Structure formats: C-alpha cells, structure tokens
Amino acid sequence: MQQAMDVSDPVCQSGRAWVDEAIRRVSADANRSADTHLIRVPLPGPWAEWGIDVYLKDESTHPTGSLKHRLARSLFLYGLCNGWIREGTTVVEASSGSTAVSEAYFAKMLGLPFVDTRTERRLSRRPVAMVAAALTVLAMGVLTYKGAVAKEAIASEVKAAVPSWAAKQGFANNKEAVAGANLFAESGCTNCHTYLGTGSSNLGAPDLSAEGAKGKGVQFQIDHLKCPSCVNPGSPMPSFKDLGQDNLHKLATFLEASKGPK
C-alpha cells in the first residue's frame, strides 16, 4: 500500500489534475448506469394479499454487465481519493471472478495498466474440469437412456403368469396358494427373485421356483417374510410384515406349494 498523497508536494500538484479528472470520469459512470434496475415480479394469490412485493435486480444493465460493477467503481473511487491510484499506477486484481471484468473496464477508462491474477478460465486450459464435465453429461445421458428403456416387471404382467405357474407346480386347486401367487406377483417380489423364468435376480436373491422343496415349512416362511434378517442373518430382503398375517400365510402357502415344476 502506498502512502497517501502529500498535497503540498509539487509532483503531487501536477498529478492532482489527473486524479481530479479520473474521479470525475468514474463518478460520471455512476450517472450513466444509474441505479440497478429493479424489475417487479407480480406474485399470485395469497402473497399479493399479504402485501408481499418481490423485485429482481437487473445487473445486466451496467456497462460491463457484471453484478460487481458498482463495487469496482467504489473501489476505484476509494483508491483515487486515498492517493493509492495515480497516473500510471498498475492496478492488480487479486481476488477472483466477475469483479475483474468491471475493474478492467475502469482501468481502461483511466488508461491504467491492469493485471488480472485470476486463474485460467479458458476451457481448453482446464482439461480436468472439462473431462469431469463431459463425464457428467455422458453419465446423465446414459442413465436417462437406461431409465427410459429399462424393462420393469409390471405387476399385471407378472400376474398373467400365475395360472401357468399353478398348472406347472400343480397347486391350481389350492386357493390359498393361488392367492399367495397373486400376492407374490403384486408385492414386488419379482424385482429381486425369479420364479419359473419370470422376474429378475437382484441382491443375490435366490430363484424361488422350488422354494417349497427345501422343506422349511409355512411357519418359517411367515417368520422370514416378517423379518428376513432375523431368520437369515445379514439378509438384505425387506420386511413384508405390513402385508398382515392373512396375506403372509397365503404367501407362505404359495412358497411351500412351489416344489419345482413337474
């Protein structure tokens, strides 16, 4: 930081005129861009009734279009009035971002050398950021595409397979088992389990086509459905106890009736 100007100094006297003119020019800029334009945004219904007004500041009307325009102007006026900025003083922008645009504008207005120490913003000089941005865009594209074409088993489609399951497994006459098969189709079980070729295999969930051949029994099935990790430690399968005892019993009957296709 330089010493403040000594006004009695003859060198200073000659610089005085330049400073006066500089202050006049910077101040004139304030008249030109006037205040930040305010744009009123009308609010709907209740807000308007509560007397709430919303205004947006339109900083784009400044000559530099930067929201730091007035800040830069104040900094220059401050520097001029304190004697830190004189004819030929090199102005260094040491912060970052949009302030530099406005500061460069005022430095040019006063014919002062201007140094911008901001880091490189040119895209071609920022390979890491560019690769990251490209990957982000690519990932969004791929995921959007996959999401759009993903084939999710719709409950009604799965349910359509129930009669053929019943026939193959031989439980068509077991009402309780058929009801359980329909619950199985509706409850999202086939998001993780496969059953006679239907559904998809996720989280390591086993195929259940022959679950009944394990001889675990209805009670085990109910206990497992209520709290999978209680009976099979570490199980990631969610609890289905909210289905209620009746439905759990139907599901269990269906599972136990699934001895594998004949």
Interface contacts to ligand HEC, rule CB under 6 A: 184, 187-189, 191-193, 202-206, 208, 211, 214, 216, 221, 224-225, 228, 232, 235-238, 240, 251, 255
- Read off the tokens for 59: 């900083």
Select 62 or 250, whichever has its Cβ closest to ligand HEC: 250
| Closest to 18 in 3D by CA, of 79, 72, 80, 84 | 80
The per-residue b/e assignment along 77-107, b for 16 or more CB within 10 angstroms, e otherwise, is bebbeebbbbeebebebeeeebbbbbbbbbb
Smallest separation (angstroms) from ligand HEC to the CB of 127: 41
DSSP of 209-244, one letter per residue? TTGGGG---HHHHHHHHH-HHHHSTT--PPP-GGG-
Select 18 or 220, whichever has its Cβ closest to ligand HEC: 220
Place of tokens 């959007």: 144
Select 62 or 224, whichever has its Cβ closest to ligand HEC: 224
Select 170 or 188, whichever has its Cβ closest to ligand HEC: 188
Smallest separation (angstroms) from ligand HEC to the CB of 254: 8
Gap between the Cα atoms of 234 and 4, Å rounded: 74
Smallest separation (angstroms) from ligand HEC to the CB of 192: 3
Smallest separation (angstroms) from ligand HEC to the CB of 225: 6
**CB 90 within 8 Å of CB 114:** yes
Select 80 or 222, whichever has its Cβ closest to ligand HEC: 222
Select 101 or 251, whichever has its Cβ closest to ligand HEC: 251
**CB 66 within 8 Å of CB 101:** yes
Gap between the Cα atoms of 198 and 151, Å rounded: 12
Gap between the Cα atoms of 107 and 113, Å rounded: 7
Torsion sign across C-alpha atoms 16, 18, 24, 29:
negative
